[in-house]
Structures are given as structure tokens and as C-alpha cells.
Amino acid sequence: MRLRNVKNAHEDLKKSLYFIENPKGNKGKWQEVFQNENPIHLEIGMGKGQFLINMAKTYPQINFIGMEKFASVLIRAAKKIEEEKLSNIRFICEDAKNIEDFFEQEITTLYLNFSDPWPKTRHAKRRLTSPEFLKSYDNIFLKDNHIIQKTDNILLFAYSLEELSKAGYTLEKVSLDLANTDIFNIKTEYEEKFSSLGYKINYVEATKKKKI
């Protein structure tokens, strides 16, 4: 799907109280941003923000950070967040490949919702569950690593299960049809659309003990 450009999107993002323009400056200090000691959850590829907003409403005792590299998408989420006036959300416009520049031992849970599958073998390193990305995540978690992934792409899902296992993760919950489980689930915009068309959603919750 072609991404429609939004004129002055990045400049408009700067006007939002919830937008963090220089996330590098908050590395290791995100609890100061939220002004509390609540757990911090991060979503990579937050899109238009539906998942993050509804999670923040459901869990006011958790702080949520959304990362999205496309300003034209993020500006839509910004408007929704402004309307909701949720104090436990912040968002950044950055590429996940630089994630270690923004966080250091402070994230409790990482969400990977409907990430780009990068189907070509030569692009495998760009997948958010590639060995390269999984290694970088080791440095952002506060305690044990905790990743939750949802995808409708079965090939990406199979790849993710294999790479998570290789990286030392325990697969706590795995489903090839999330809708037919009792797992609590808040849907993304994409998920609502494709679930209504009959697509099955794959789900995995994976943990890894932090080395002492």
C-alpha cells in the first residue's frame, strides 16, 4: 500500500505535547519523562495509534511509548492522542534500527504488531525478529526480555519463532488463530480490517531471562 505524504507532518508533530523530538536525550531517563516509576512498554511501528491508545486506556498504571518512522502516519496518531489527553503515552518518529540510541535497560514489554515481513531473503536482516534486531533488544529491557508479536504473515511468523528460539527465548504463548483463543487482545487498525476479511492472526509471547 502506497503511503500518502502529509505536508509539514514532521513540523506539526513538534506541536504535540506527547511527541519527543529528541529521544536520544532521554536514553536511560524515560521515567523522568513520565514523572513516575511505572513500567514502560514500547511498540515498534505504532501506525495510526489505535493499539497504543486503547492499551493506555486499559492500563493507566503502565507507560506506553510508540515508535513510528513515517511522520505522515504518525501525525494521524498524534491527533488522536491529543483528543484523548492520555498522560501515559509518548511517541517518537524514529527508525527501529537505531533503537539502542534511545533506550537503555528501561523497557518492560516490546510489541511488534504487523511488522513489515520483508519477504525477500536478501532483506532478512530488516525483519524486526532478525538476529540483529533481537541482539539490539537485549540492551533495552529493564529485567527479563518480553516480546509480544502479532502478524498475519505465516512465513514471518515461522521465521520469528525460529529466531526467538535460537536467541534463547521461551515461547510462552503461541497461536495460529488469535481470535479463537482466550488471550486478551486489543486490535490494531490493520488487524481489525484483515480479521474482518477472514485472515487468521498469528500470536507469540516470548520471554528470555536476563543474564546476571
Q: Which of 95, 101, 116, 177 is catalytic?
A: 116
In 3D space, the residue among 197, 62, 44, 73 whose CA is nearest the CA of residue 134 turns out to be 44
Return d(Cα 27, Cα 18) in angstroms, integer: 17
C-alpha cell at 147: 516480546
Rg (CA), the chain: 16
DSSP secondary structure letter of residue 144: S
Angle between helices 71-84 and 50-58 (to 10 degrees): 30
Q: Active site includes 116? A: yes
Catalytic residues: 116
